[in-house]
Amino acid sequence: MAAMSEYLGQFTIVSIFLRLALAAACGGVVGLGRSRKKQNAGLRTYMLTALGASLAVLLTCYEYEMMTGQWAPFVEIVGMKFDASRYAAQVISGIGFLAAGTILSAGHQQVSGLTTAAGLFTSVCMGMAAGAGLYSCVIIVLVILIVVLDVMYPLENAFKRRLRNMTLYVEFASIENLDDITDKIKEERATVYDIDVERTKREGNKYPAAVIVIKMGKGNASHSGMLSTIAEMSCVHTIHELIA
């Protein structure tokens, strides 16, 4: 086992293939879960970013191997200096632009894509670890990524729905109905913190809409109970909770 680990740690064609394949496979596992959730970055995006990061680190290893071996006489004559961190640094800088492209303004005071951007960044670092031959580190990061992105997703939503703060998006018949809606919320012993009135953007829909931030009082009904109470009002056409 120790001999195998030592062999895979060397810069050979077998270890190169294993590192690239491991990076692509781990990126694919993470990306597959994101694809199922219909996120901006999916299976192929995660595979390619992890593979590219692994390749960048392998280029670093290759250049170091050549400059201390076959190219050593030329390096001594020219006096070249080698910085093993420059490829990794460029990868980290480059992924910032790609990750920023996945962050979108979703409207209604919400921003989407932050988790996708963070996942891409971590996937790239995982690929760099694979390229460097830190196999155990790659597997550990992969497991943690899957837990954070897939296992904790429903737990996070369940936790948010237990909080007393709620952000509601409501479409209603007329702007005069806004007072009726806020009165109904107050009847449920909830406090209205903020109201942002906007116009619906759906084609042919001219109903006014509002994003209402509230805090339910102690002993209030559940989030679904609050939604049901407001939805029963005749003036309300659409209502749903905004979850960041």
Looking at the predicted structure, is the pLDDT value of residue 92 above 70? Answer: yes
Range(s) for CATH 3.30.70.260 in the chain? Answer: 163-241
Residues 175-223 have pLDDT tens digits of 889 999 999 988 888 888 888 887 766 555 677 888 888 888 776 667 8
- Read off the pTM: 0.66
227 and 187 in contact (C-beta within 8 Å)?
A: no
Q: Which residues of 22-61 are buried (b: 16+ CB within 10 A; e: fewer)?
A: bbbebbbbbbebbbeeebebbbebbbbbbbbbbbbbbebb
Helices (H), the chain: 2-9, 13-36, 43-67, 72-78, 86-100, 114-132, 135-146, 152-162, 177-187, 223-231
Looking at the predicted structure, is the pLDDT value of residue 86 above 80? Answer: no
Q: Which residues are CB-contacts of 137 (< 8 A; sequence separation ≥ 6)?
A: 129
Report the mean per-residue pLDDT for the chain: 80
Distance CA 147, CA 23 (A): 18
CATH 3.30.200.20 fits 163-241, yes or no: no
Query: Residue 72: what pLDDT?
Result: 75
Residues 142-171 have pLDDT tens digits of 999 888 888 887 787 777 667 788 888 898
One-letter identity of residue 117: A
Query: Residue 240: what pLDDT?
Result: 84
Residues 113-132 have pLDDT tens digits of 778 888 888 889 899 888 88
